[in-house]
């Protein structure tokens, strides 16, 4: 025998059933909105998190080099992105200049050396502000003089000097979210 609720009992529970259904629909809508908003936020922050992680690794390596210069070889095993044995795939011949390590994601596209000066140019698809901050922090050392030569949106030139060494840093925002970094090093007499 089937048990069927009388019509009056169904009418009595109709408001409760409709209320529960509406509440579940609102909660489902909020959950979907939360997932979309969270994913959007994560996608927006991912490049910044990646850049800051590289900066932390570079800063740690620099501190270790200051305290124990002989530990450099051991540290490079743990920080492969700063390992000169693993350069970017399309680097031209030459060497990296200055006390600041190369920003992750940049490729050496040009290198020139004369008696008086060496110059390296890097390019890559990296965040302009993160790149600028990376190099400014890399040159921020005791006894280092720093001068801003020019600054405009997407293009800055800085000069650094320590003893007889002088560096000029030119960072420029290119098309397609690419950045060009030109670093020249001069030994003063």
Query: DSSP assignment of 1-38, as one string?
Result: ------HHHHHHHHHHHHHHHHHHHHHHHHHHHHHHHH
- Residue range 130-151, pLDDT digits in tens: 999 999 998 888 888 999 999 9
> 94 near 161, Cβ under 8 Å?
no
Token match 């000169």: residue?
84
Per-residue model confidence (pLDDT) at position 85: 39
Domain positions in the chain: 1-86, 88-187
What residues pair up with 171 in beta bridges, in sequence order? 156, 181
How far is 167 from 103, CA to CA, in rounded Å?
Answer: 17
- In 3D, which of 138, 188, 182 has the Cα closest to residue 156? 182
* pLDDT confidence of residue 10: 66
Could you tell me the sign of the dihedral formed by the alpha carbons of 110, 49, 52, 149, in that order?
Answer: positive
Range in 71-80, 108-117, 175-184 with the lowest mean pLDDT: 71-80
- Residue 155, number of CB atoms within 10 A of its CB: 13
Which whole number is the average pLDDT over 78-85? Answer: 46
CATH fold group of domain 88-187: TATA-Binding Protein (3.30.310)
Sign of CA dihedral 185, 119, 48, 82: negative
How many angstroms separate the Cα of 145 from the Cα of each of 136, 150, 160, 167, 170? 12, 16, 5, 10, 16
Confirm if 107 and 91 have CB atoms less than 8 A apart.
Answer: yes
Q: What is the pLDDT of residues 34-59, one digit of tens each?
A: 888 888 877 777 667 666 767 777 77
């Amino acid at each position: 025998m089937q048990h069927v609720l009388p019509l009056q009992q169904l009418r009595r529970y109709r408001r409760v059933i409709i209320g529960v259904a509406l509440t579940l629909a609102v909660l489902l809508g909020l959950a979907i909105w939360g997932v979309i908003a969270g994913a959007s936020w994560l996608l927006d922050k991912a490049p910044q998190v990646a850049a800051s992680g590289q900066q932390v690794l570079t800063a740690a390596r620099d501190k270790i080099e200051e305290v124990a210069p002989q530990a450099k070889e051991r540290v490079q095993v743990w920080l492969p992105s700063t390992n000169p044995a693993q350069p970017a795939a399309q680097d031209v011949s030459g060497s990296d200049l200055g006390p600041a390590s190369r920003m992750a994601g940049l490729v050496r596209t040009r290198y020139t050396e004369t008696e008086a000066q060496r110059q390296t140019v890097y390019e890559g698809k990296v965040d302009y502000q993160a790149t600028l901050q990376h190099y400014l922090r890399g040159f921020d050392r005791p006894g280092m003089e720093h001068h801003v030569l020019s600054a405009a949106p997407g293009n800055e030139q800085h000069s650094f000097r320590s003893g007889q060494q002088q560096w000029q840093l030119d960072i420029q925002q290119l098309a397609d979210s690419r950045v060009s970094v030109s670093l020249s090093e001069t030994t003063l007499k």
